[in-house]
Amino acid sequence: MFEKAQKEYECAREYVYGKNTKRSVCLMDLAVICMKEAKKKGLLNDLDESEEINACSIKATIEVDGESQDYLVMFKNETHNHPTEIEPFGGAATCLGGAIRDPLSGRSYVYQAMRVTGCGDPRAKVEDTLPGKLPQRKLTVGAAQGYSSYGNQIGLATGLVDEVYHPDFVTKRMEIGAVIAAAPAENVVRVRPEEGDAIVLIGGRTGRDGCGGATGSSKAHDEESILVCGAEVQKGNPLTERKIQRLFRDAEFTTMIKRCNDFGAGGVSVAIGELADSLDIDLDKVLKKYEGLDGTELAISESQERMAIVIQSKDIDTVLEFCAKENLEATVVAKVTDKGRMRMNWRGKTIVDLSREFLDTNGVSQTISVRITQPKGSYFDKEIKGNVKDLLISAMGDLNVCSKRGLSECFDSTIGAATVLMPFGGKRQLTPLQVMAAKIPVLEGNTDACSLMSYGYDPYLASFSPFHGAMYAIVTSVEKLVCAGADYSKARLTLQEYFERPGDDESRWGKPYAALLGAGMAQRALGLAAIGGKDSMSGSFKDMDVPPTLCSFAVCVSDATNVISPEFKKAGNKVALLKVKRNKNDVPDFKHLKKTLNVLKDSIKNGEVVSAYVVDLGGLASAIARMAFGNNLGVCMEGEFDNSQLFAPSVGDIVVELSEDKIGKTVLCDLSTPLGVVSETAEISVNGQTILLSELESVWADALEDVFPTKTNHKEIKNMPIYSARAEVFNGRRLAKPRVTIPVFPGTNCEYDTARAFERAGAIADVVIIRNLSQSDIEQSIEQFAKSLDNSQILMIPGGFSGGDEPDGSGKFIATTLKNPRIADSVMRLLKDRDGLALGICNGFQALIKVGLVPYGEIRDMQSDSPTLTFNNIGRHMSRLVNTRITSTLSPWFNKVNVQDVHTVAISHGEGRFVANQQEIDQMFLNGQVATQYVDDRDLPSMDDLFNPNGSMMAIEGITSPNGRVLGKMSHSERYDNGLYKNVIGEKDQKIFESGVEYFK
């Protein structure tokens, strides 16, 4: 087994480097040899190569409105294990920020993220915490809050969130993730810097945070680390990075960039030092958060949200003007020279002067022997005793099987209006995904091209054998893509390694060595290659070590129309199992596996397979149960099954649902083993026993309820009368294309989705960026905002996080701006003199209610008992799809729908609970001002958290002004487009934007 893998590696080295190569054998060479081999064989024709190596980049040709366009698709995985162990919130937040920066520096737009973490038991008692450590609950909750806070603020959809649990992660937490991005290929120019070129630093200011972060990640971790390493953790600023995203999405700007680097490990020293072979850097030009920083701190600080770009000197003024328009600070900090040296100057002195020749060396080489330990027995052959029902109930409560819905809902999964699959599917949104899917973001036009990303990792298999753990990480990540409808041969991989500190122990070095051999064998057998990766070799604490970890992230570009989801679809469909054939050494029969995956792909495309799920740690039975939860469809299993078939960790086997309407005698049937039939009865019937889904769901859902809650106490409410009168008719000048003013405040992140929704409906969107870096910026922005309003028929305030949303701060910055006399006058002229409309969604709703535009229809000072929006009852951010009912058609925004229509709409907020005194609520219902309400599966208003995500009084989701022309609502109607949210049924188009535009026609 090991000998074969070793021989394959040696043959690959000889093929790539030549028979007599003198290159040293190192872990990095092991990690990249499959990519180099595949490239030399011509198997990576889609690989996008350049001297910029910040992210994996592949070429894709996609259809946009029927025309072919060349795109670059980039992806990157990141790790922040050390900083998250020290400071969970900041470490996890900047893990995501760091992942975003890499493809962003490639001038691509980051649109979806995946988060995979490793933790000990978060339910453990605080008093059992190891000295010098934070409690596991503190780590997992704090890290989730940090990552989600950053992603939610910057406006990045997190399509899949998972946490794997293993007792050895008490040693040190695993905090990893990956992002995916895209850009038109023509927007990305890569040119070698030349003497005289300028280097501009854009974005956040520099501080001491992050000094020593790079070396900190490799330090030995002990009881003192938590006390002395806090300064190594960067301070994230997602609002600034959002501005850079906007700037780098502008083709006119990006085509002026010759080369770009983000600020990660090493700060200025690396970010600017890598841009050209010869540089003069002026550290005095680096903008600072505060005074007192010395030259060393300015040179190495890893403070986030900064980019260094190389441009021609003639473009300096134009570049600085572009930055100013996006409310970003920028300054020229260096120039390209021809001296062959990197020099740094500070306060008139040269403090660094190094030759490029020296910088390009790899330092002193060290050697060590490696010893690989042969695993004993088989991971897959396990005798399992007990009653089937008891075993299944126990499996559903296992931390690596149980529901992570309470965790996942903390992360915005729908922003960007590109999410093809929600994290949990079925009408009940309970079947968890194994792959995330999103349409590739195009600024103009429509496309069905989408990206898919999955991961593979089993900490128990990896602990049993790092070789097999890595091999099956590759296999399962690829299988998951195919189970969603992708072609596995188009997959590209990026690997994440996390191992103990090896020191000078041969057997400890043998673990990553064995893992890379196993990963290489799988890649070579499948004809795939990892084109990126990240490693961390600091997973030790005293005499404890993390599980040997090689996590595989798999990515491919596909067609959204072919994407399927794993929840059972229809009673009467057949359920079958596609088993992985293994030899006596537990190595898959890759020839059989490839045939199976190709047949599965074709069967999904022709509609024969309608759902598929890769079996994981919980075994076959728990996989079937999770597929059943989404639509509350059971399974009647036919035949007798022993416990090992049902509960052994058959990693890599695939459960498929075959359509009774389309399946025939196909190759898939020959490859599969029949299991049973999907049933309308919500139960699993196996070996003569019947197990109710409700019993399983209770255990499955409650395992982490105390850590990541999903429900609170609630009471029933009465169903108030509906209001069926229609809105007043527009009396002004009719317009073919009404104009919409969309202000973008610091923290706004829904402007793209909103502008696109209005333009699709036939309006002209005028996006106004509110700049606040100086007094003159503020004055100019106010004037521009007011001028746009005076020329518009609609004011739309999109969602986001106003000024970072300090406590009780939702919408405060926007509200303050709306109360500016110049803006307030323009708003009221729009609404009263020109019969205009106003709309605020989520953060925009919060702003409208703070100034009185809803429910009063005018800007006024609010009182302590005035209606408001406050923190969700559940005490955390909520992101999911909800059902809302049209309760009133008073508003012109609902001219194209009817009362009692129910729509399935995205929500994502932490402060969305509507509260008011009951007398005022009753009057709003009477006036028809309660526009929409959260409803349950009977279409009745509900206070149940499953349906009313924030606990709004009387289940109120949206309200209007007295005449209906101002609408504020929490759910994101702008986030829907054709082909999205395929795994949740419901009418998703509220036709709000079409109604608003048609009002003026």
Evaluate whether 475 touches 580 at the Cβ level (below 8 Å): yes
The greatest distance separating any two alpha carbons of the chain, rounded to the nearest whole angstrom, comes to 87
Distances (CA, A) of 175 to 555, 922, 972: 20, 48, 30
Which of 773, 677, 977, 18 is CA-nearest to residue 324? 773
How far is it, in rounded angstroms, from Cα 225 to Cα 466? 28
Active site residue 211: no
Active site residue 903: no
Distances (CA, A) of 404 to 92, 393, 425, 430, 549: 18, 17, 13, 10, 21
667 HSE (CA, 13 A, CB side): 11
Active-site residue among 229, 957, 972, 994? 972
Local structure of residue 588 (DSSP, 8 states) = B
Find where tokens 């680097």 sit. Answer: 261
Active-site residue among 842, 909, 911, 957? 842
Which of 412, 486, 424 is CA-nearest to residue 450? 486
Which of 194, 898, 59, 32 is CA-nearest to residue 523? 32
Active site residue 49: no
Q: Is 197 left (phi over 0), alpha (psi -120 to 50) or beta?
A: beta
Active-site residue among 232, 657, 957, 974? 974
The CA radius of gyration of the chain, in Å to the nearest whole number, is: 28
| Beta bridge partners of residue 47, listed in sequence order | 58
Rounded to the nearest 5 degrees, what angle is found at the Cα of 629, between the Cα atoms of 625 and 633?
Answer: 90
Local structure of residue 206 (DSSP, 8 states) = B
Distances (CA, A) of 676 to 377, 625, 672: 32, 13, 12
Rounded to the nearest 5 degrees, what angle is found at the Cα of 428, between the Cα atoms of 426 and 430?
Answer: 75
Q: Is 990 left (phi over 0), alpha (psi -120 to 50) or beta?
A: alpha
Angle, helices 238-248 vs 136-154, to 10°: value is 40
SS3 of 213, please?
Answer: helix
Contacts of 649 (CB under 8 A, 6+ apart): 379, 380, 382, 458, 460, 461, 615, 616, 617, 618, 619
Active centre residues (catalytic)? 842, 972, 974
